Structure 1
Amino acid sequence: MNAHTQEVTRLPSLAGGGNVMAIVPQTFEETFRVAKAVYLGGLAPSALIGKLEGDAAISAVTVAIMSGAELGLKPMVALRSFTVINGKPALYGDGLINVVRQSGKVAYLRTGCETRDGQMVGWCEAKRNDTDEDKRVEFSQEDAIRAGLWQTEAVITKWNKWDKKNEQKPNDSPWWRFPQRMLAWRAAGYCLRELFGDVLGGIRDEFEAREIADAEDMRDITPRQPPAPPMPPAPPSPTVEDANVVDVTAEEQPAEEQIDTAAFFEELEEALSGAMDEATVEEIWTALDPEGTFDGDDLNLDIAHKIKARRLAQINPVNGG
């Protein structure tokens, strides 16, 4: 028997069978270690971490794992089920259904979408097996239209902040691509949060959370135009002597340049979203110069400062909060 054969025979035999068990962290430190491994391994969902990097991205993964643990989800299942919107965890539509099903409190849970009188209607019906409560909720195409969610155009106009112009782009909204699924998931979100509120613990579905975040952003940064200055008093009627005098000192003043405040704020927020530290935030702030742009316009300057403060808070929650 040669040396190679002897070496092979010393290897332990492989054992088969056994149950596969998930690694479930028990402390914050263990959770952070798992989140770091997920991030460094490139397994963190891009929808979860967005443009975050380093410890900020690891923290986002940690929050998702912790939020999932509170609902009984294993770490990797939580990462597939959760997203973070404006710093708040939210469940995808299928994640919401998954959490409720795993609770063991479901007698039945059904979702779907049907057509009535030419209109699509999404629905969800469920029943608890511990209290025998049941519920059916519908969310129709008309509801989506009234809420400003419905999409009917294959091509939409989007602002190109780099070229400073509007461009025609394919509509990538899920309400355009998957209207039936969106109607059913919206119905499920309302139905399950009402019937299984104890199971979900106040967690919203992704779509409702995103709409709330968009509404909050619009309220925070919608440009507020300052009131128009009072009109100057009318000049006195000229006398006969004045009519013979030519005013050679008055010059025609050019019209004041109008600032597209909405486009400016969009550009500022987009630029700051790529900043990962306070120094970069200050560089972008200096380059775009909101102080000079809104010199004398305290209302819109205050909005610009709020956008900056919000980004700083996202970068450093302890100091920014």
Structure 2
Amino acid sequence: MNAHTQEVTRLPALAGGGHVMAIVPQTFEETFRVAKAVYLGGLAPAALIGKLEGDAAISAVTVAIMSGAELGLKPMVALRSFTVINGKPALYGDGLINVVRQSGKVAYLRTGCETRDGQMVGWCEAKRNDTDEEKRVEFSQEDAIRAGLWQTDAIVTKWNKWDKKNEQKPNDSPWWRFPQRMLAWRAAGYCLRELFGDVLGGIRDEFEAREIADAEEMRDITPRQERHEPPTPPRPPEPPKAEEPKTIEGEAVVEDGGQTDTAEFFEELETALAGAMDEATVEEIWSGLDPEGTFDGDDVNLDIAYKIKARRLAQINPMNGG
């Protein structure tokens, strides 16, 4: 027997059937180390870290792991369950269900989707075993259409902001690819938030988080008069101009030497986009009102116009809001 053979024979034999335990950090330092390993290993979800890099990205992963720990989720499960919307953690639909199931307070929890009169209806029913409260919530295809979520086109028009042109692309919306699952998850979100609010600890599901983000964005771009803010103090009268600006019927009102009335323009843009039920119509309205030409050289107001458009696209297709 040579030396190599002797060395091999000294190796311990592999044992099967052992239970592999998850690594669960117990302190902040341990959590940060796990988060750093996840980030450096390239396992951090893009939806979680966005454009963050270095310590900022590691911190985002750390917060996700800590948020999951408060809900009873192990680190890697937490990273698969959480997303970040408008800077706030939110749970995916399956993550929400997973947290509630692990709470020990569930007598039963069932979700599904059925067809009634040619329309799909997602549903969720659950019962608590500590209070005997039970609830059933349904979210139908008609509800999704009314909320601007329903998708019916395999090919959709999307705006390429880099090349500044419309492009025909396959519809990657989950409402197009997995309508039954999305209806069931939407019903589960409403049902579980009401029945197990104490278990979820204020963490919202991604659908509610997107709706709140849309509402906050809309509030930021609402004209001052509609936000009931104190009016700006009057300015001293200016010398008369040689030529009074004219208002042309059917076009934006012109004031102060040729500047567009932004409040009226944004109101018209928002009202027009509210009637659009698909991305192609949004692009037609956008091209017709031409915010880019209206605010040529005015990056601030053009950015507001883009936000109004993005908010409507997110309502039509949630994947655009991420």
Alignment partner of 1:127 is 2:127: yes
Deviation at residue 145 of structure 1 after TM alignment: 1.8
Counterparts of 2:82 and 2:245 in 1: how far apart (Å)? 62
- Please list the CA deviations of residues 264-308 of structure 1 after superposition, one character each: whole Å capped at 9, or x if unmatched: xxxxxxxxxxxxxxxxxxxxxxxxxxx99239xxx738969x9xx
- Judging changes above 3 Å, is the alpha-carbon distance between structure 1 residues 215 and 151 closer, same or farther for their aligned structure 2 residues? farther
Work out the CA distance in 2 between the residues paired with 1:206 and 1:36. Answer: 25
- 1:298-309 counterparts in 2 under 5 A? 300=301
Unaligned runs of 5+ in 1: 225-229, 235-255, 263-290, 307-321
Residues 223 and 303 in structure 1, CA contact (< 8 A), matched pair in contact too: no
Identity within the alignment, %: 91
- Greater alpha carbon shift after TM alignment, 96-105 vs 157-166: 157-166
Q: Tell me the equivalent position of 2:298.
A: 294
Q: Separation in 2 of the partners of 1:160 and 1:17?
A: 53
Task: Give the Å deviation of 1:257.
Answer: 10
Aligned to 1:79: 79
- The count of corresponding residues between Structure 1 and Structure 2 is 249
Give yes or no for contact 1:220–1:303 (8 Å, CA) kept in 2.
Answer: no
Between the aligned partners of 1:58 and 1:65, the Cα distance in structure 2 is 11
Residue 232 (structure 1) aligned with residue 244 (structure 2):
yes
Question: Alpha-carbon deviation of 1:17?
Answer: 4.6
Partner of 1:288: none
Residues 167-190 of structure 1: CA distance to partner in whole angstroms, max 9, x if unpaired? 222221111221111111000001
Contact 1:136 1:191 in 2 (8 A): yes
Report the TM-score when normalising by structure 1.
0.68
CA apart distance, 1:60: 1.8
Q: Residues 196 and 9 (structure 1 numbering): CA distance in 2 closer, same or farther, change over 3 Å?
A: same
* Matched ranges for 1:1-321 at <5 A: 1-221=1-221, 232=244, 293-294=297-298, 300=301
Structure 1 residues 303 and 115: CA distance shift in structure 2, 3 A: closer
* 2:185 partner SS: helix
Letter paired with 2:301: N
- The SS at the match of 2:188 is helix
Question: What is the SS of the residue equivalent to 2:244?
Answer: coil
Deviation at 1:12, TM superposition (A): 3.7
For structure 2, list consecutive stretches of 5 or more residues without a partner in the other structure.
225-240, 247-257, 267-294, 308-322
Counterparts of 1:300 and 1:223 in 2: how far apart (Å)? 12
Deviates more, 1:79-88 or 1:30-39: 79-88
* Residues 220 and 120 of structure 1: CA distance in aligned 2, closer, same or farther (over 3 Å): same
How far is the alpha carbon of 1:16 from its aligned partner? 4.6
Closer, same or farther: CA 12–180 of 1 in aligned 2, 3 Å:
closer
**Contact 1:60 1:84 (8 Å CA) reproduced:** no
How far did 1:212 drift? 2.5
Structure 1 stretch displaced more, 141-150 or 205-214: 205-214
Q: Deviations over 1:8-48 (max 9, x none)?
A: 34334445554321111111111111011011112222232
Counterpart code for 2:133? E
Aligned residue type for 2:86: N
Q: Deviations over 1:108-149 (max 9, x none)?
A: 111111122222111100001111110000111121122221
SS at match of 2:208: helix
> Does structure 2 conserve the Cα–Cα contact (< 8 Å) formed by 1:223 and 1:300?
no
- What is the alpha-carbon distance in structure 1 between the residues aligned to residue 296 and residue 123 of structure 2? 53
Aligned residue type for 1:6: Q
Q: What's the counterpart of residue 238 of structure 1?
A: none
Contact 1:106–1:127 under 8 Å retained in 2:
yes
